[in-house]
């Protein structure tokens, strides 16, 4: 990539520019083997972490996604050099030349807030647009800001931007009111260069937080406890170069697992991390699927029918909110009634109206979706509203009778690497129409 041509990875897939459609003829059962891609939600904080050092950072297994393009564009804006070769991405930020993450970038990807911690830690200042609301709820960043203040940053909100300055961050005990994934990551990245010890309590335990900590430790940071709810960070003076790998994407893996069950198929997923999808494995077994696990491989064989099961989303290691929409699509063809409770985000049922247009029978009652299984969904033109909602509509389309046309496909390109190619390889009748 480089300074001259920022953000060209996955050319033509800039968010909002493409108005591609995905067309699915439902009814093919999925069969075969695919490989899991690198995790979007690990790649984003890890790329942001490269801002903490002036040395080269080399990352393997980086997925080719619109959101990764966006963070690369942001890094280049801030002064980083970025090179890539397939799934290997190298970046170096010899000097931070700009301290601002503009509204234009942040509005396309909320995770841009992840540069706040690294920028303040490295340079003592940052100006990052506040992410607004989004399709799945209010999603504030108050906990990121409060914790940064506790580390000694001065925070002001001006013209829709967070302006943070400090003469030097100091380690402190920090308690997160709510478990927040990017909040934990942002503060962990700030604390690695703070003077003294920081203890994060009620920290997020997601595997992506652990992946980030491993990379930071590779750069010379001193972090213990990542993956538990108490993370201890001893500040160091400077960080150096690193070479490391992005973990596989548990949400993508989970989406393909649900697709296999929904279509009555038999799918093997290679290079995945079975330990990261245990909550889903338990639910799919309860729903009648057979699941065989080897070290980095999962085989999912659908049962004779889909048993309706209840699901409640929780922070990791609970059932992930990022698989809730896909699970509702599965329960839409269950053999009874299923109650799906969303406890992480307050407005994450946008897919339900679209699923009902495909014949699903679902009632929403506060944060619960009561799903009465029907024999078969029917293809329809539907609209993607957010990333995971669009995945659930693709899955519904795969199992439905007839044709489903999904619009606003750019949502899905943010988080799924070549989804229609992978599904075609498994036998799905799916194609993209470029417009
Ligand atoms: C991350 C994931 C996203 C996933 C979510 C929950 C990335 C890039 N995105 O998002 O895919 O759906 O975790 O697993 O990793 N909250 C506050 N104040 C804050 C921060 C969060 O009230 O300052 C609340 C949120 O509104 C939400 C809950 O905490 O209700 C959890 O959100 P959080 O874990 O922060 O989600 P993200 O990190 O944005």
Query: At 311, is the pLDDT very low, low, confident or very high (cuts 50, 70, 90)?
Result: very high
**Residue 2: band (very low, low, confident or very high) from pLDDT cuts 50, 70, 90:** very low
User: Of 134, 236, 364, 374, which one is the catalytic site residue?
Assistant: 134
pTM of the model: 0.95
Mean pLDDT calculated for residue range 250-272? 98
The share of the chain scoring above pLDDT 70, in percent, equals: 94
User: Judging by DSSP bridges, how do beta strands 197-201 and 173-175 pair with one another?
Assistant: parallel
Q: What is the Å distance from ligand 1's center to 30 Cα? A: 32
Per-residue confidence band for 15, with pLDDT thresholds at 50, 70 and 90: very low
Band of pLDDT at residue 134, cut at 50, 70 and 90? low
pLDDT digits (tens, 9 = 90+) for 322-373: 999 999 999 999 999 999 999 999 888 989 999 999 999 999 999 999 999 9
User: What size, in residues, is the chain?
Assistant: 435
According to the model, what pLDDT value does residue 347 have? 81
For residues 328 and 321, the answer to whether their CB atoms sit within 8 Å is no
Strand partners, 383: 407
Which of 180, 202, 392 has the most ligand 1 atoms within 8 A of CB, as the residue to mutate? 180
Contact 269, 295 (CB under 8 A): no
pLDDT score of 378: 97
Is the confidence at residue 11, as pLDDT, over 70? no
Query: On the CB side of 174, how many CA atoms lie within 13 Å of its CA?
Result: 35
Torsion sign (Cα): 309, 310, 314, 318? negative
CB 57 within 8 A of CB 219: yes
Contact assessment for residue 236 and residue 19, using Cβ atoms and an 8 Å cutoff:
no
pLDDT band at 7 (very low <50, low <70, confident <90, very high): very low
**pLDDT the model gives residue 140:** 86
Percent of the chain with pLDDT over 90: 86
pLDDT tier, 107 (very low <50, low <70, confident <90, very high otherwise) = confident
SS3 293: strand
Please check whether residue 377 is in contact with residue 360, taking contact to mean a CB–CB distance below 8 angstroms: yes
pLDDT digits (tens, 9 = 90+) for 167-223: 999 999 999 999 999 999 999 999 999 999 999 999 999 999 999 999 999 999 999
Q: What pLDDT, on a 0 to 100 scale, did the predictor assign at position 12?
A: 39
Residue 3 confidence (pLDDT) above 90: no
- Kindly report which listed range (29-38, 117-126, 137-146) carries the lowest average pLDDT score: 137-146
C-alpha distances in Å from residue 325, one per residue of 11, 248, 309, 366, 369 = 28, 20, 14, 16, 10
CA-nearest residue, atom 17 of ligand 1: 140
Ligand 1 mean position, distance from CA 405 (Å): 30
Give the distance (Å) from ligand 1 centre to CA of residue 260: 28
Q: Return the pLDDT at 77.
A: 95
How many Cβ atoms are within 10 Å of 150's Cβ, its own excluded? 17
Residues with CB under 6 A from ligand 1: 41, 44, 111, 139-144, 178, 180-183, 204, 208, 321-322, 344-345
Report d(CA 231, CA 228) in Å as an integer. 7
The answer to whether the CB of 221 falls within 8 A of the CB of 233 is yes
pLDDT grade, residue 425 (50/70/90)?
very high
- Which residue's C-alpha comes closest to atom 20 of ligand 1? 141
| Mean pLDDT computed over 237-247 | 98
Distance, in Å, from the CA atom of 120 to the CA atom of 94, rounded to the nearest integer, reads: 16
Tell me the mean pLDDT in the region 43-49.
98
Query: For residue range 274-283, what is the model confidence (pLDDT) as tens digits?
Result: 999 999 999 9
134 is catalytic: yes
Residue range 138-160, pLDDT digits in tens: 568 999 999 999 999 999 999 98
Distance in Å, CA 29 to ligand 1 centroid: 34
Per-residue pLDDT tens over the stretch 211-230: 999 999 999 999 999 999 99
Name the pLDDT band for 5 (thresholds 50, 70, 90): very low
Closest residue by Cα to atom 25, ligand 1, is: 139
User: Mean pLDDT of all residues in the chain?
Assistant: 93
Closest atom, ligand 1, to C-alpha of 143: 23
Average of per-residue pLDDT across 292-306: 97
Give, using CA atoms, the residue closest to atom 31 of ligand 1.
180
Q: What is the pLDDT of residue 108?
A: 87
């Amino acid at each position: 990539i480089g300074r001259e041509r920022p953000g060209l990875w996955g050319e033509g897939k800039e968010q909002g520019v493409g108005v591609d459609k995905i067309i699915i003829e439902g009814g093919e059962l999925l069969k075969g083997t695919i490989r899991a891609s690198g995790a979007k939600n690990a790649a984003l904080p890890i790329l942001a972490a490269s801002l903490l050092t002036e040395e080269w950072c080399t990352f393997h297994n980086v997925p080719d996604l619109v959101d990764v393009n966006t963070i690369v564009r942001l890094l280049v804006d801030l002064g980083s050099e970025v090179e890539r070769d397939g799934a290997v991405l190298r970046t170096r930020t010899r000097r931070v030349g700009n301290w601002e993450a503009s509204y234009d970038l942040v509005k396309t990807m909320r995770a841009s807030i992840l540069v706040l911690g690294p920028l303040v830690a490295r340079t003592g200042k940052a100006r990052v647009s506040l992410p607004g609301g989004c399709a799945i709820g209010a999603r504030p960043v108050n906990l990121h800001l409060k914790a940064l203040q506790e580390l000694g940053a001065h925070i002001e909100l001006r013209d829709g931007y967070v302006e943070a300055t400090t003469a030097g961050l100091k380690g402190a005990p920090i308690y997160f009111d709510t478990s927040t994934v990017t909040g934990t990551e942002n503060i962990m990245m700030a604390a690695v260069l703070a003077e003294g010890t920081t203890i994060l309590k009620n920290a997020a335990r997601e595997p992506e937080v652990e992946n980030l900590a491993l990379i930071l430790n590779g750069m010379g940071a001193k972090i213990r406890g990542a993956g538990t709810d108490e993370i201890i960070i001893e500040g160091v003076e400077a960080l150096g170069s690193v070479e490391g790998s992005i973990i596989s994407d548990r949400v993508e893996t989970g989406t393909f697992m649900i697709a296999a069950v929904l279509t009555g198929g038999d799918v093997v997923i290679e290079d995945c991390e079975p330990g990261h999808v245990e909550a889903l494995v338990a639910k799919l077994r309860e729903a009648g699927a057979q699941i065989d696990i080897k070290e980095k491989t999962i085989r999912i064989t659908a049962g004779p029918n889909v048993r309706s099961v209840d699901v409640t989303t929780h922070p990791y290691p609970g059932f992930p909110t990022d698989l809730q929409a896909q699970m509702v699509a599965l329960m839409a063809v269950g053999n009874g009634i299923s109650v799906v409770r969303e406890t992480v985000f307050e407005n994450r049922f946008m897919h339900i109206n679209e699923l009902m247009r495909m014949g699903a029978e679902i009632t929403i009652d506060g944060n619960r979706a009561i799903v009465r299984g029907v024999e078969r969904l029917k293809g329809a033109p539907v609209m993607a509203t957010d990333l995971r909602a669009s995945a659930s509509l693709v899955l519904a389309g795969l199992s439905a009778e007839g044709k489903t046309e999904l619009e606003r496909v750019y949502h899905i390109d943010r988080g799924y690497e070549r989804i229609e190619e992978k599904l075609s390889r498994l036998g799905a009748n799916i194609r993209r129409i470029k417009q």
